[in-house]
Structures are given as structure tokens and as C-alpha cells.
Chains A and B, each alone.
Chain A
Amino acid sequence: MPSPSARVPAGVQYVFGAEARLRRAIERRVLDVFAGWSYEEVILPIFDHAALFEGGLGQGRARTYRFTDHEGDLLALRPELTTLVARTVGTRLRDEPSPLRLCYTGEVFRFDPPRRGRHAEFHQVGLEHLGTDRLEADLEVLLVCAEALRALGLPGFRLVLGHVGFVSGIADALELPPEVREALREQLERRDAEGVRAALAGRAEPARVAELARLATLSGGAEVLDAALDLVKNPASRAAAAELRQVLDTAAAVGLGDAVAVDLGSVAGFDYYTGMTFQVYAPGFAASLGGGGRYDRLMAAFGRDLPAVGFSLCLDWLADAVGRAGLAERLAPPPRAEVLADEDLAGLFRAAVAARAEGRQVELAPPHAHAPQEGSA
């Protein structure tokens, strides 16, 4: 058994050197973009009451690290940050006029078996726009997200839009019981049109079921939404498709046409989403870099009933994608220090302080410096 100082628990990471510089550089650029759109940073607690987080993660998905405080209250390390922003707005910012634009950066903790790129601890940078249920807010956060990705220089990124209302509109219109909804969700998650058809079998005319199955597994551009508007009759799904259509059109009008696509079967994400959702993808990275969506009912639970929309990007994965795209050196150039040496200590520090006053990077090579012997402690 190696000594405790040598053992690292699964899922935690130590980041240093070029990788640490890159992460900070990315974080700064993204936060600068957020600030440019007037999103104000909130610094949030690392842990809070465990019950607080139960609305978001959904059953059996990510689990939290839990522990008790001295009064026996059950606490949890934060598994996401949106809930904490919502709590802040519902309590401390109760009287601030809306809309509120808030952003955050920090680690979140999820008790998941580590797999592809999913650590127990990872770093999110995100924002929330609270107080308006209008499409402008959805568009604004999409544009901010796109600008952040552009600021990193990531080529060929894509924002893939979905809408909670599209599939739930179909499910409501067919009066699906909960277990069929769950089966439908699973098959959509797999993008398996035949699986969707099997899940809906007997709930509508076979031809109708086949149509819906094809539709729910479609992704692409505006043509997907046109097909949806032709085929789907229930008002909730139609409204969802119409909203997405408007988002696409506006995105095209501001030159983001190629970067935005639609996936009607997209059902991934937090349980608290109520409207448009989106996921961020970039070439060379195997999973989504982040995502977000509209959550109009979460805030009511925190005493201030505000519609809201937001997103977060995973800093760890951004760093990976930026590295793979060969952009690391450009975003975080290796530090270039002037090495100062002088036998006279006072002279050495005078020179260093003067260099620093001019903003230059210095590294002191003090007199009698000697390299530590390898292996000596």
C-alpha cells in the first residue's frame, strides 16, 4: 500500500505548469466576455444544504458528496452552480430590479464513477440571465456563449439547440403515462427512431407514430423545424418549434448561421429546464463542452418567481479542446522572465523592484544559489 501522500483519490486532479496557465487564461477571457455583456460575478459557497440541490440533478444521475455539520444538518458539496445563483437571487438580491445578469466561476463536485473526461471535481464558468421570459434573453445568452468560444479562437464550434417543450408537447398530446415518457426519453437519448416507435406503439395511429419517431430523431438546420411545423399539431410542440425557428433566424442574421443547429430529440440536461436548451460542441472534442437552457420554474422555489435562462462551460474541457486545436500557446504564452543576478542584495532588489514597477516579469537568481540535491529532503 503506497503512503497516503502518494495516493490520489479517483476523480481529483492536480493542475500545474502550462496547463494551469492555460486554464486561467481561458477563464479570464470567458469572464471578460461575460463582463462585456454586463454580467456581474457572484462568488458562491463551496457547500450548502444537500436538499437545495435535489431539484436540479434528477434521480439517479449525478450524486453529491454529502456530510453533516455540527448541528447534524445534511450538507453537500455543490454539484452545479445555477441552484446557488437562484438561491442568491431569491434571498440576498431579493429587492434588486430585474433583469439580473450574473456570472460565476468555480469547481463543482459530483460523485460519479470517473469516465471519459468526467472527474469528480471540475470547473465551470457560466452565467444566468434572470427576470425575462422573452426570446431576447435566450438569444442574448446564446450570443454571449458564441462570443466566449470565439474569444478562445475555437474553430468550427457548434451550438445545438433543443427545446423541452417539443417532446413534452408530443408526450402530453398522446397522454403518455410516466413510464412511457421515461422509455421515450431513453430512446431519444440513443437517437434510435425504431426505439422511439416501439416506445410509442399503440399510443397513436402507426403512421403517426412513425412520423413522430422520425421527427424526434432529426437534427440539422431550419429545414428540420419546417418539417416539425408541418407535421406536429399540438400547440406546445408547435410553439417550441416556432421559438427555435426564431432563434435560428436571428442567429443567421448576426452571422452565426453556421454555428447554430437544431436537434429536436435533445432531451439531455437538468430536470429544471423548461424551454430552449443548448449544447456546445467543437471539433476534436468527443463530448459537449457545456450547455444551458431556460428554467422558468426553478426560481419560484427560492421565493422570487422569475423566469431565467443560463449556461455553463466546463473549463477542463475547454482547455482540452483548445489544446487539441493547437491554440494553447497563443492563449497562454510561456512566461518570459528576465533573470536578475547581483552579488549585492540591495542592488539586486532595487533592480527587481524597478523592473516590476515597469510591469516586467522578473526571476531572481540570488547570490550563492545552488540547485537542491536530487533525493535529499
Chain B
Amino acid sequence: VSEVVTVALPKGRLQDQALEVFARAGVRVDPAELASRRLWLDDQRGRVRFVLVKPADVPTYVEYGTADVGVCGGDVLLESGADVHAPLDLRLGRCRLVVAGRRDEPRDGLDARATARVATKYPRVTTRWYHARGLPVEVIGLSGSIELAPVLGLADRIVDIVETGRTLEENGLEVKETLERCSARLVVNRAAWQLRGPALRALVEALRAARPGGPGDVDGDAEGDR
């Protein structure tokens, strides 16, 4: 059994932020390695191997144990429904998962409809949220440019993540309701948590100290994704 801990990182924006937190926690990647286009990176002490995957795939890699640990957005974790532990809020990539619609939406227009049509990249979360409220919903799965859907009349509403709300605003949309506050989580494979407990708990504690705001609840844990 290899002692190297495999960490699945989401390619893109979160990857660099996460690598910074790992570096502060003492897990550093040689800049030369970083510059390469390889999809895996070893840390300088050879204890951690990062694999770079599509953000939505991180929970899958961890659930299947291909990676022991992963970093993924709270929205991604929620949508995946993956059976993994999520022991730490990394306080990166904060956003809100919201229901948004047109600013000029007719006041009673939606209530009169039997079924809301909702466009989203988060079909699972959306369906669950509407059903939990006893609201019939027709979920339209899209993979990008979600904001267009209400503008063009494809959907009444969208469920999507917002950070500043600017994109919504520029497309004539506004937040109607907040489903969830999200931030990036450290996720851990269940079996790895039991079989490699000491190494993984040490990593969690090092990252807890190294994340933005440090170990304590600087700006309140209530802001985490729950």
C-alpha cells in the first residue's frame, strides 16, 4: 500500500486557490511542474499526488477511491450526492446557489402556471428543492449560459450559483431566493478515512490552519454551506 495521499483538484480557478492553501499547509508543488501540462503533480516531499480533473468529477474520483481526498465546490458536492466525508470548509470559492428570474417578471405570472420551468446545471438540487416545497417543476438541464434561458423564454426561472450577482443584473435577472450558501470543501473517501486515519486527519488539521481566516471561525461558520 502506497503511503502517498492522492488529492483530486478541480481544474481552473479553484485549483490555484487550493494549491495556495496546500502550500501554506506545507504541501508544495515545484513551479516547474505547475507550468507543465501534465494532469498530475507530485509535491516536493513526495507525500501528496495531485490529479487535475474536471470540477464536477471530483466527488466521483473520491467516492470511487481513485483519489483519497478532493477539493470541490459546495455546489458540486451537493449536486453529486456523492457518498463521501466532507470534514472541512476550505473557505474558497464562496458563492450562493439561488433561484433567479427576470426583474420584470409579471407579478402573478408564475403563480398562475401549473409547473415552473427551471433551467439549471443542477437538476438534482433543483428537483429536490422544488419538491420539498410541494411545487411542481419541469427541470431543463443546460450546461452553460443559463442566464439566457429566462431572457429567451426557454424557462421561467433558473437555479445557478452567483458570486457578485453582476451577470444576473446585466441580463435583466434578479435573485428570487437563496437555496444554499456554498464554499469549497475538502472531501475524503470513506474507506481512506478509516484506513489511513492519522495521515488524513493531520492533513485536515494542517489545511484548517492554512485556509483563509485560519483555524478559527473568523467570519462565522454560519456562512459555510449548510
Contacts and interface: CB of A to CB of B under 8 A. Distances in A.
A279 B191 CA distance: 10
Interface stretch (A42-50, A121-129, A188-196, A292-300): A188-196
B195 A286 contact: no
Interface string A140-151: 000000000000
Interface residues of B, number: 26
Nearest to B1: A283
A197 interface: yes
B85 interface: yes
A192 B86 contact: yes
A57 to B, nearest CB: 16
Interface string B187-226: 0111111110110000000000000000001000110101
B226 A198 contact: yes
B89 A194 contact: yes
Nearest to A266: B194
Contact of B64 (A219, A281, A286): A286
B172 interface: no
B190 A288 contact: yes
Interface size, A (range) = 20 to 34
Contacts of A281: 191, 194-195
Contacts of A190: 85-87
Nearest to A321: B191
A194 B86 contact: no
A189 B84 CA distance: 9
B222 A198 contact: yes
B63 interface: yes
A194 B224 contact: yes
Contacts of B192: 286
Contacts of B190: 286-288
Interface in A176-223: 183, 187, 189-195, 197-198, 201, 217, 219-220
B43 interface: no
B194 A158 contact: yes
B87 to A, nearest CB: 4
B92 to A, nearest CB: 15
Contact of B224 (A160, A198, A283): A198
Contacts, number: 74
B65 interface: yes
A279 B194 CA distance: 10
A201 B222 CA distance: 10
A193 B87 contact: yes
B62 to A, nearest CB: 9
Interface of B is mostly: mixed
A220 to B, nearest CB: 6
B65 A285 contact: yes
Interface in B52-94: 63-66, 83, 85-89
Interface in A268-287: 279, 281-287
A288 B224 contact: no
Max chain A Cβ within 10 angstroms of own Cβ: one of B88, B189, B191, B224: B191
A220 B222 contact: no
Contacts of A156: 1, 195
Interface string B129-140: 000000000000
Contact of A219 (B197, B222, B224): B197
Contacts of A197: 221
A116 interface: yes
A287 B85 CA distance: 12
Contacts of A115: 63, 83
B129 to A, nearest CB: 15
A263 interface: yes
A287 B83 contact: yes
Contact of B191 (A187, A201, A217, A285): A285
Contacts of B89: 192, 194
Contact of A283 (B85, B195, B197, B198): B195
Contacts of A279: 194
B163 to A, nearest CB: 22
Contacts of A195: 224, 226
Nearest to B225: A195
A201 B89 CA distance: 17
A220 B193 CA distance: 10
Interface in B104-160: none
Contacts of B194: 158, 160, 219, 261, 263, 279, 281
B63 A116 contact: yes
Contacts of A191: 85-87, 188, 193
Contacts of B217: 194
A217 B87 contact: yes
A194 B190 CA distance: 18
14 contacts: A115-B63, A116-B83, A158-B195, A189-B85, A192-B86, A193-B87, A194-B224, A195-B226, A197-B221, A198-B221, A198-B224, A220-B198, A283-B195, A286-B64
Interface of B: 1, 63-66, 83, 85-89, 188-195, 197-198, 217, 221-222, 224, 226
Given A219-B193, A288-B190, 10 more contacts: A115-B63, A189-B85, A191-B85, A194-B221, A194-B224, A261-B194, A286-B63, A286-B190, A286-B192, A287-B83
